[in-house]
Amino acid sequence: MVDLVFKDSEKKHKFHLVNPSPWPIVGAFSALFLVSGAILYMHYEMIWPMLAGLFLILFTMFMWWRDIIKESTFLKVHNSITEIGLRWGMALFITSEVMFFVAFFWAFFDASLLPKTFLAEYKEVFTGTLGIGVWPPKGIETFDPLDIPYLNTLILLLSGTTCTWAHHELREGIIKRHLKVYIIQFFWVSYFLFYKYMNTNMQLLVLLKVYILQLFTWQLVFMDFMF
């Protein structure tokens, strides 16, 4: 594959024009295959389509990141503008995750602070548009928030700490110390998912898929160092 890089005398702009890549369309069909395979597995216990989709997703991630690292290290085509674009992409990704939790907690507090499930015993005294209800709904048994949720929160905060620590060690070029902190981060992710598996009805295959995706997602933190 010939890289679309022009000589300094011929290049009229500072932007990096990437090669036509097959990985976006391959990744899209791989995701479709994975979701379709998961539906077939849940309804008909056909496991091979989901495994094939998972393999294709991991293969696409590996090949796509390989091309990006090659552009950054061997071809030397990532300049300051390219780095800004990559950082903006990561910032938008994190923003989308933040907005997901905003929507989640918005729905939770909207349902808990002003329950809208109408209760028949209040129908004669309540004439407003909002229902009068109770939270949590009848028939739902709540669990102690200082038990599993508290432990998972601690693990999440500790993993964020070790992730930031490893990031700074990598940016400073202290590879040996970075690898040690990486092992600690690997332990926190493993412990979190193992604890989730032991305390829920999550199937082992689903746990493995979440485990792999979390490890790959965590790698995105170090992309700006390589670029």
Q: Residue 115 belongs to what domain range?
A: 79-141
Q: What are the tokens at 155? A: 């693990």
- Residue 102 placed within a domain: yes
- Residue 15 placed within a domain: no
Whether residue 32 has pLDDT greater than 60: yes
Q: What pLDDT, in 10s, does the model give residues 84-130? A: 888 898 899 889 989 999 998 998 888 788 776 555 555 555 555 55
Let me know whether 198 and 125 are in one domain: no
What are the φ and ψ backbone dihedral angles of 209, each rounded to 5 degrees?
-65, -45
Q: Which residue has the tokens 């792999």?
A: 212
Let me know whether 192 and 208 are in one domain: yes
Let me know whether 157 and 212 are in one domain: yes
Let me know whether 164 and 223 are in one domain: yes
Let me know whether 165 and 217 are in one domain: yes
**Top-confidence residue, 11 or 115:** 115
pLDDT reported for residue 119: 54
DSSP 141-191: PP--TTTHHHHHHHHHHHHHHHHHHHHHHHHTT-HHHHHHHHHHHHHHHHH
The vertex-143 CA angle with 112 and 96, nearest 5°, equals: 55
pLDDT reported for residue 206: 57
Whether residue 55 has pLDDT greater than 70: yes
Tell the burial category of 149 from Cβ atoms under 10 Å away from its Cβ (0-12, 13-18, 19+). exposed
- Residue 201 placed within a domain: yes
Q: What pLDDT, in 10s, does the model give residues 39-53? A: 998 898 888 998 999
Domain-ending residue, one of 122, 141, 160:
141
Q: What is the share, in percent, of the chain residues with pLDDT greater than 90?
A: 19
Task: Name every residue whose Cβ is closer than 8 Å to that of residue 71 and which is 6 or more positions away in sequence.
Answer: 3, 16, 18, 77, 78
CATH number, residue 63: 1.10.287.70
Let me know whether 88 and 58 are in one domain: no
pLDDT reported for residue 163: 78
Count the domains in the chain. Answer: 3
- Residue 120 placed within a domain: yes
**The one-letter amino acid at 12:** K
Let me know whether 178 and 223 are in one domain: yes
Q: What pLDDT, in 10s, does the model give residues 128-157? A: 555 566 777 777 787 777 877 788 788 878
Let me know whether 224 and 159 are in one domain: yes
Q: What are the tokens at 100? A: 């997901």
